[in-house]
A and B are shown apart, each in its own frame.
Chain A
Amino acid sequence: MIKELFYKLDLIAPALLLLFASVKNIVGKRIYSFSDDILVDFATVQLLLNGIAAYIQVQDGNNLWVYHVNCITTNLIFTLYFARTLAQKRLVYAGFAVFVVAYILLSLYAQAYKNFPSYPLALGSGMIVIYALFFLDEIMTFPPTTDILSLKEFWILAGILAYFGSTFFIFISYNYLSVILGERVSILWQFHNSFLFIGCVLFIVAINCRKWILK
């Protein structure tokens, strides 16, 4: 039962995030910030693509292409987020260009659409973590408020570091671990889903915050 729950966390976590955002929108009648929109987009993409992947798996089909789509879409969403929020926009654009080139090369020579895209996923996660660290540095340089815990961006960055930081390590060592674990490789997804859940909880805290940096 608990094991099943862990496997379903990649659907439960974004669903909870979406539910919370919707309730907050309806009950709170609040104005959504750009950050909230990004979080809702992320949750929607995760729920939709993880749902499709799960459905294909049940049908015994090849769902690996869904992870390619997920990898590109997630990276695009957070590239848009950081391109707007970070002062060093050129870094984000250059980073995305590097990601696209690296993704094409990896798809051609290492992990085509029929394989699991662990290296592009690791690369994408690593880049998002780097953007997040740059943003934290910007916030530290020019503190926008005296109470950081009330700032939406802080919780978003905490969620990004928790989720993408962990997935970077999971995906970078995915090939190695899959050899060691063999048929038990699915256990990695339990860890992945747990960190996605932690990330989504932190994103829920972010949506609940009423203070954010205007960009």
Chain B
Amino acid sequence: MDTEIVLVAASTVFIFFLLLFLFGFVLKYQRRALSFVKEKELIQSKFEQTLLQSQIEVQEATFSLLGKELHDNIGQLLSTAKMLLGIAELNLVHPPDTLVTANATVGKAINELRALSKSLNKEWLEKFDLIGNLTAEVARINAAAVVKTSLVCADELSMEADKQIVLFRIIQEAMQNALKHAAAGHININISQSNREIIAIVQDDGTGFSSEGETGGVGMINMVNRARQLGGKVEWQSNGEGSVVTITIPLKTELHEDFNRNSR
């Protein structure tokens, strides 16, 4: 009988330890599985960031190439044309008004081309801060005298130079959208900064957009991707009497750190 009691006790102890082992295993497993999922999400997020960074770098390289080509090829041709027009103007005692106007127009075209070439060149933009670049961009658009553009912004922005270029590109795209698609008469840019974030608002009085289809263009996707690269977001509002684009960029986030690491 004693042996039977020992056997029952041994079986009970075995079952107890088995249950304890399985319970411990399940607990440890759940913890590990959760950390595994988090790790996977982090890797996924870092991969997306790297991908976005690469896309933006490719775009910047394309912009720079385009800017250089405009400056070196078309710019040179226009300069030669202006020089020839100038010579022709000098050789004539009474040059016709059309020739004078043509010479002035070509001169204006050269200036606009140079300004556009600079706005596309990242190396040039990096020499200035966001405010400086935006001021030049506003001046370039106002020079065409088609749209009246105004800029209101803080005196200084506490944001790294690389990120300022990215924010500049987002605002530039918003301005281009207002010019190309909205047929706007006025564009107002307002940039404010708090301790936590920078908010840029681009407002126009154009036709706006009503359908959802109009919000999915390549330019808009680029804006969203660039904002995501900085850990921020872009929001559009439109009531048919103009549109408002609000770009919110946090000043310190984990994604900022990733951006810094990726851009080095």
Contacts and interface: CB of A to CB of B under 8 A. Distances in A.
A169 B11 CA distance: 10
Interface stretch (B17-25, B140-148, B189-197, B251-259): B17-25
A76 interface: no
A161 B21 contact: yes
B30 A188 contact: no
Contacts of B18: 161-162, 165
A187 B4 contact: yes
B37 A149 contact: no
B7 interface: yes
Interface stretch (A17-25, A53-61, A114-122, A138-146): A138-146
A46 B21 CA distance: 27
Interface string A134-177: 00100110110110110000000010011001100100000001
Interface of B: 3-4, 7, 10-11, 14-15, 18, 21-22, 25-26, 28-30, 32-34, 36-37
B26 A149 contact: yes
Interface of A: 136, 139-140, 142-143, 145-146, 148-149, 158, 161-162, 165-166, 169, 177, 180-181, 184, 187-188, 191, 194-195, 198
Contacts of A148: 25-26, 29-30, 33
Enumerate the 3 nearest inter-chain pairs by beta-carbon distance, A residue then B residue, closest first: A143-B33, A146-B33, A148-B29
22 contacts: A139-B29, A140-B29, A143-B32, A145-B33, A146-B34, A148-B25, A148-B30, A148-B33, A149-B26, A161-B21, A166-B11, A166-B14, A177-B7, A180-B3, A181-B3, A184-B4, A187-B7, A191-B7, A191-B11, A194-B11, A195-B11, A198-B15
B24 to A, nearest CB: 11
A136 B21 CA distance: 11
B3 to A, nearest CB: 5
A138 B14 CA distance: 24
Given A140-B28, A166-B14, 5 more contacts: A140-B32, A145-B33, A161-B21, A162-B15, A169-B10
Contact of B29 (A143, A166, A177, A181): A143
A165 B4 contact: no
Nearest to A187: B4
A125 to B, nearest CB: 13
A158 B37 contact: no
A4 B53 CA distance: 74
Nearest to B1: A184
User: Taking each of B15, B25, B26, B28, which has the highest tally of chain A beta carbons within 10 Å of its own beta carbon?
Assistant: B25
Contacts of B10: 169
Nearest to B26: A148
A190 B7 CA distance: 11
A139 B26 CA distance: 11
A145 B15 CA distance: 26
A139 B7 CA distance: 33
Contact of A177 (B3, B25, B28, B37): B3
A153 to B, nearest CB: 12
A155 to B, nearest CB: 10
A143 B22 CA distance: 16
